[in-house]
Amino acid sequence: MDAITVPARPGPFTLPPARTALIVIDMQRDFLEPGGFGEALGNDVSTLRPAIAPVARLLALFRARGWPVIHTRESHRPDLSDCPPAKLSRGAPGLRIGERGPMGRILVRGEAGNAILPECAPVAGEIEIAKPGKGAFHRTDLQAMLEARGISHLVFAGVTTEVCVQTSMREANDRGYECLLIEEATESYFPAFKAATLEMIPAQGGIVGWTAKLADLEAALA
């Protein structure tokens, strides 16, 4: 299939279907539902929920074409050996990483709260990355997986816009990947932070990457 051009900022984004993958960042219960780490940090988790339906639509687009899909979950080993003290100190006392909350131990692999929301859950054949940091490349095998598949272009979605999503995009940009963030398929606990990130990413001629509307991507792929 020929390259596909999507209306975007700061200009059209051209993606080669054979070398493009979708990365969905941290659509997990610990961040999007009451009782998880997001709420323990004092956030209103309902502000993230508008991203769920657009992420599901984006997943459907890629699945219908058989294009690679990667899901990340911020998570830690049960012994917390991969969680530095500076991170362990975040959150309300009694509801910090590794402590027991309403959905099990917070941000710990295998616990109920660490699961991805059913609406956005992986299906057979999709890649899952457990990441101990904000960025999807930090202490993971993501780059090796992308290189093995010949991926050069990444479409991003997930939460939160200004933390794990933007961090992962910046990591990808430093590694030479061309990156596109779908605007409706990402959210923040702070609307102003999302808005600022959507301005930072395409600034200076796309210094981090591009942003596009979901409807424009859908139309380009139709």
Which residues 6+ apart lie within 8 Å of 221 measured at CB? 4, 61, 65
Q: Which of 120, 164, 179, 194 is catalytic?
A: 164
Of the candidates 30, 60, 59, 25, the one whose C-alpha atom is nearest the C-alpha of residue 45 is 30
Q: Which of 83, 120, 131, 134 is catalytic?
A: 131
The answer to whether residue 216 is catalytic is no
The answer to whether residue 164 is catalytic is yes
CB 15 within 8 A of CB 153: yes
Task: Report, in angstroms and rounded to the nearest whole number, the Rg of the chain calculated over CA atoms.
Answer: 17
Q: Which of 26, 120, 134, 194 is catalytic?
A: 26
d(CA 69, CA 50): 21
Of the candidates 200, 1, 164, the one whose C-alpha atom is nearest the C-alpha of residue 74 is 164
The answer to whether residue 26 is catalytic is yes
**Active-site positions?**
26, 131, 164
